[in-house]
Copies of this chain bind each other. A is one copy, B any other.
Amino acid sequence: MSHRIHNFCAGPAVLPEAVLRQAQTDILDLEGTGIGVLEHSHRGKAFARVRDDAEAACRSLANIPDDYDVLFLQGGASHQFAMIPLNLLPDGATADFVVTGTWAKKAMKEAASIGAVHVAATGEDDSFHRLPDPESLRWSAGPAYAHVTTNNTIVGTEWAALPPTPEGVPLVADMSSDIFSRPLDISQFGLIYAGAQKNLGPSGIALIIIRKDLVERGRDTLPAILQYRTHAKANSLFNTPPTFGVYVMGKVFRWIEAEGGLKGMAERNGAKAQLLYDFLDASSFFRGTADPASRSLMNVCFRAPTESLEAEFIAEAARQGLDGLKGHRSVGGMRASIYNACSLESVQALVSALEAFETTHRGALAG
């Protein structure tokens, strides 16, 4: 018999159990076709239904306007780090970045191999524990686009509201780790991209929501596979797409819908994060590392008094069936990733484990 534990991995991450159970059936026989979901032609009727439903569910969930294309592309956010400037950054133009963590830096580094980049603001002096003051942002003159990372998994910060970006400049957002965790207004963006493996599905596929006028901007000399227009024109079927990823994403979209849509997710995620942050704020043993005003609802980063106590807690938690709590290797400490599919029960179990550990070890520490 399979059992399931509490999974706080930062990505790939926990997925809704109902989706996994449906996948168990469909992997051998999709909807009574006698052929599993991995084995269906991407040009056949069965997969067409899967793909069309995934796009329809995505559009409905996020109320995506008709002048945006929804693309399901192979690869993840790191592939988009290159594909975005290859398509949207012409010779002589500049892309502006709000640098709020490691992933924003990586996005900027790939862009810098292709064209000019400008740092509108960086939180690096604060080790990224605090998001830049929106008033401090300094944009270049007429950038090709402005890039933000909406949630920073490693340090556990997230923009509660988007920072203001220059009028008329396409806003490009890496939403890999908080997409569809709360309502959003698509019309604010030129391009949204997200690797699927946190809130949407398995790794190896990215969701791209792109305003149609931006789709055409890739240079003619760019290989076809790297052009957004190739995929937009072909309904993401220019080449064989990651069909299983599209399938799982579609099921996750329908699961979100059944759980109350993006508003339902925001309530669910707010409740989970509040439970954990309230505990950390009240604790005299554990402490959160992100500036309170910059706190992420998706990744909660925290420390214990010593590194050896952290290692001890992580090991003790694993024994109790709480996994994935080790902080990113670049910052250490602990991190609970509590994406959409993470349940309130998992966070309650974590808080109980933290409380018990604190009770047991506070005295020893003082002594």
Q: Which residues of B contact A9 (CB under 8 A)?
A: 35, 39-41, 44
Q: Which chain B residue lies CB-closest to A30?
A: B2
Number of copies: 2
Binds B, one of A108-116, A268-276, A285-293: A108-116
Q: Mark A92-122, 1 if CB is under 8 A from B, else 0.
A: 0000000000000000011001100000000
- B28 near A324 with CB under 8 A, answer no
Stretch of A62-70, A222-230, A351-359 lying at the B interface:
A222-230
- Residue A12 CB within 8 A of the other chain: yes
Check if A81 is an interface residue, CB within 8 A of chain B.
Answer: yes
Q: Give the distance in Å from the alpha carbon of A203 to the alpha carbon of B324 in the complex.
A: 28
Among B5, B27, B77, B240, the residue within 8 A (CB) of A24 is B27
What are 21 A-B interface contacts by the 8 Å CB criterion? A2-B29, A3-B34, A4-B34, A5-B33, A5-B34, A12-B42, A14-B39, A15-B36, A20-B28, A24-B27, A34-B321, A38-B248, A43-B329, A74-B76, A78-B238, A81-B223, A114-B223, A202-B242, A202-B243, A203-B240, A203-B242
Q: Which residues of B contact A181 (CB under 8 A)?
A: none
Which residues of chain A in 178-231 are interfacial with respect to chain B, using CB atoms and an 8 Å cutoff? 195, 197, 201-205, 221-226
Set of chain B residues within 8 Å of A202, measured between Cβ atoms: 38, 242-244
Kindly state whether residue A11 has any CB partner on chain B within 8 Å.
yes
Q: Which residue of B lies closest to A248 (CB)?
A: B38
Residues of chain B within 8 A of A41, CB atoms compared: 9-12, 324
Q: B240, A11: Cβ atoms under 8 Å?
A: yes
Which of B222, B244, B323 touches A34 (beta carbons < 8 Å)?
B323
A42 to B78, CA, bound (A): 15
A82 at interface (Cβ–Cβ under 8 A)?
A: yes
Task: Judge whether A12 and B240 touch: CB under 8 Å.
Answer: yes
Q: Are A110 and B225 within 8 A (Cβ)?
A: yes
Interface residues on A, range: 35 or more
CB of A319 within 8 A of chain B?
no
Please report the C-alpha to C-alpha distance between residue A14 and residue B28 in the assembled complex, in whole angstroms. 10
Q: CB < 8 Å: which of B4, B35, B76, B113 contacts A239?
A: B76
**Chain B residues within 8 Å of A321, by CB:** 34
Tell me the bound Cα distance from A81 to B240 in angstroms.
Answer: 13
Beta-carbon nearest neighbor of A203 in chain B: B240
Which residues of the other chain, B, contact A38 by a CB distance below 8 angstroms? 12, 15, 20, 201-203, 248
Check B28–A204 contact: CB distance below 8 A.
Answer: no
Given A34-B321, A197-B240, A224-B110, A12:B40 Cβ within 8 A? yes
